[in-house]
Structure 1
Amino acid sequence: MTDESRCTWCGTDPLYIAYHDTEWGVPERDGRALYEKLMLDGFQAGLAWITILRKRENFRRAFEGFEPARIARWGEAEVARCLADPGIVRHRGKIEAAIDGARAWERIEAREGFSDFLWSFVGPAPLQPARPDMAAVPTETPESRAMSKALKAEGFRFVGPTIVYAFMQAVGMVNDHVVTCHRHAALAGPGA
């Protein structure tokens, strides 16, 4: 596989290439996994995604596998533990946002299912915009703005429309692999 057949954003870092080739854009419907990715995207705010990707296993350890039911019960002791952990991004606001997000996740999960709630912004199947190149990929869309507004209303933080659009791309709600990328066609089929 040549670099030219990939989206250019993944560069040449082997970890980034593996993420691009196996995870990014693959439709995710597991509510816990969606919570994890949304929280990691929040931690990414102001940083490069590769920074978070390199620390992802540390985040999973520190955040108890991103199990919302556990994180929703956290208090100051857990926040302090995370603030002392050099393996993650140590930002009090983002750590506390993950706790608030876990509590919001529980309410949404009980009401309608977190996955169903999120996927309702795009419909039952991923959006298939067929972008010709990276210049055609937007940083936000009407769907990401609507999802951002709804998430904020539920109590989530660090979920602006740009972060939410990056999340939507990563979890396969939109197939933003450019049409020349080898992953575009693989994720363009019905029910991809």
Structure 2
Amino acid sequence: MKDICKWAKTEVEIKYHNEEWCRICHDEIKLFEMLILEGMQAGLTWKCILNKRENMREAFDNFDYKKIAKYDSKKIEELLNNKGIIRNRRKLEALIINANKFIEVQKEFGSFDKYIWSFTKGKRINNKLKPTDDLPARSELSDLISKDLIKRGFKFTGSIIIYSYLQGIGIVNDHSINCRFHNEK
């Protein structure tokens, strides 16, 4: 009987691991949501983000980037008073910036999906991690994508954040070889 990856310990982490982590994603809203959630995680735990995720969905109009792109300073102040979300002014301001940049990338490439998957020519990276291995924090790929996103004006998109993002949207499969989800698509 195969196990699951050792990092998934709490109920919310196990649910995320079993249902989403390293699963291939091509949905624009989901790609945006994961980009924002990974940026929100900076300095925090993923468990903290997962526990606040539903509140953030509600507060951020279900991660509708077209609506978020129109948020203003009044909306930022409203969000800063919402105890159910990550209340960091820089991260909330980045939310708006990233929504606008996301739309710019869509216009340039036809979709954000085409853009992000172009870095691997549409291919998934299947790592062969042993159960005792630590998860990588970054890679040459995440360095490259991070550099490009930052050049385009995105915020909270450093290499470590982007590596986690690549796992979250399934471009990188880091399920350990003993995990029952390692060979899933």
TM-score by length of 1: 0.92
1:108 to 80, 105, 109: 105
Aligned twin of 2:83 = 86
Query: Distance between the aligned counterparts of 1:120 and 1:141, measured in 2?
Result: 16
Of 126-135 and 19-28, deviating more is: 126-135
Aligned residues: 184
Gaps of 5+ in 2: none
SS of equivalent residue, structure 1 residue 163 = helix
Structure 2 residue 44 is matched with structure 1 residue 47: yes
Distance 1:134 1:41 in 2: 24
Q: Which residue identity is paired with 2:25?
A: E
Partner of 2:173: 175
> SS state of the match for residue 135, structure 1?
coil
Q: Root-mean-square deviation (CA), in Å?
A: 1.3
Superposed displacement of residue 101, structure 1: 0.2
> CA separation in 2, counterparts of 1:104 and 1:131?
34
Q: Which aligned segments of 4 or more residues in structure 1 are displaced greater than 6 angstroms?
A: none
What letter matches 2:72 in structure 1? G
Is the 2:6–2:131 Cα contact (8 Å) retained in structure 1? no
What is the deviation of 1:136? Answer: 5.1
Counterpart of 1:169, as a letter, is Q
- Aligned-partner Cα distance in 1 for 2:34–2:47: 14
> Which letter does structure 2 place at the counterpart of 1:33?
K
> Residue 95 of structure 2 corresponds to which residue in structure 1?
98
Using the size of structure 2 for normalisation, the TM-score is 0.95
Instruction: Write 1 or 2 for the structure with the bigger share of helix.
Output: 1
Any unmatched runs of 5+ in structure 1?
187-191
- In the TM superposition, 1:1-192 aligns within 5 A as 5-11=3-9, 13-112=10-109, 113-135=111-133, 137-186=135-184, 192=185
